[in-house]
Every structure is written in C-alpha cells, then in structure tokens.
Amino acid sequence: MKKYFIAYAAMLALASPSTASAADTPVRVNACTLGSPRTTQSYYAAAYYPVNGPYYWGDPYGHTYHQYALPSSSHTTSAKLNIAYVNVTNKPLKEVEFGFVMEGLLLAEVRDQGKFSPGAEIKHTFGVNENVFHHRKGSAQCLPLRATYEDGTVWTSEHLPKLNSALYR
C-alpha cells in the first residue's frame, strides 16, 4: 500500500504545472544603481575583474561579452553599475551574471565571481560602457541572467531580456 501511495504522489507531482516566479531565481537583487566615475558608494566593493584583463566570457545568449574595468580615476568616462544581491538558495554560488535593463532594453552585462554564501548580501560595483547614460529614460533593473553553483550546476533564466546586438560591436 505504501509504495502505491508514493507512486501516486510522484505522478501527481509530474502532472502538476510548474509556474516560473521570482522565487525560481537563485539571486534576489536588493539594489541596482548606475553612477558616473565621480560618484562613490563606499559600501560597494569592486567586483571581480582579472588582473591581466581584458575580461571576456560566453554569455547566456551565446555571444562573447566584454566586461569593462572599473574607472581608475575621475578623468575617465566609464560608468559604474552598483548591484546589491543575495544568494537565496541553500548552496554557495561561484559566478553570477546580470543584465542591466532599462525599458526592456538590455544595455549591459556584468559577471561576478567569488564564493557567495546563502543568505549573505553582496554589494559590488562593476564597470560598464558610458553609453548606458544615453538611455536614462526609465527605471533600471539588474536581472540575474545566469548563475553557477560551486558544485558546477548552472541556472539560466527562462526569461532573458530581449537581445541587444549592439552590445557585441
């Protein structure tokens, strides 16, 4: 009798429709702000960027993306993207990729690396192209695009923002 109940419960679970929600993402974004090289947010630390730069990776769209270094002085025109986020899963993450979106348009991508423990808030600053300032019309969002757990498991958003091919030129 017990094994029939388990089999029935398993069939019900498979038959139940699953709906995507914000809870399906491994990361909750608490803050997403864009700043010029002159703006400082002392409680945000510099995000990962390789010492020998430049920094390229294959993004969730299948393109090679270039992440900008943080501005080294107030004389540069590069922008900064400040993101505060939390790993909302019970497993540590080692990489998180975000899309900076305004009015549905993907304006930049950034990638963070490290050990992101469950429940810990991470506050990092990323360098982005200064062209994002030309699109300051609406509210900005930093959306998680992809995350890699320490065990190698990869989560990719089922709801990627519309691809902006101008990012890859």
In order along its 169 residues, the chain shows pLDDT tens digits of: 444 333 333 332 333 222 334 458 999 999 998 876 666 556 788 888 888 878 899 999 999 998 888 876 544 556 889 999 999 999 999 999 999 998 888 889 999 999 999 999 999 999 888 777 776 667 789 999 999 999 999 999 999 988 887 777 6
Residue 111: count other Cβ atoms within 10 Å of its Cβ: 21
CA distance linking residue 64 with residue 50, whole number of Å = 16
CA distance linking residue 2 with residue 12, whole number of Å = 16
Residue 113: closest CA among 132, 130, 126: 126
CA distance linking residue 112 with residue 168, whole number of Å = 19
This prediction has a pTM of 0.79
- Domain segments of the chain as ranges: 21-168
Map 70-105 to HEC letters: CCCCCCCCCEEEEEEEEECCCCCEEEEEEEEEECCE
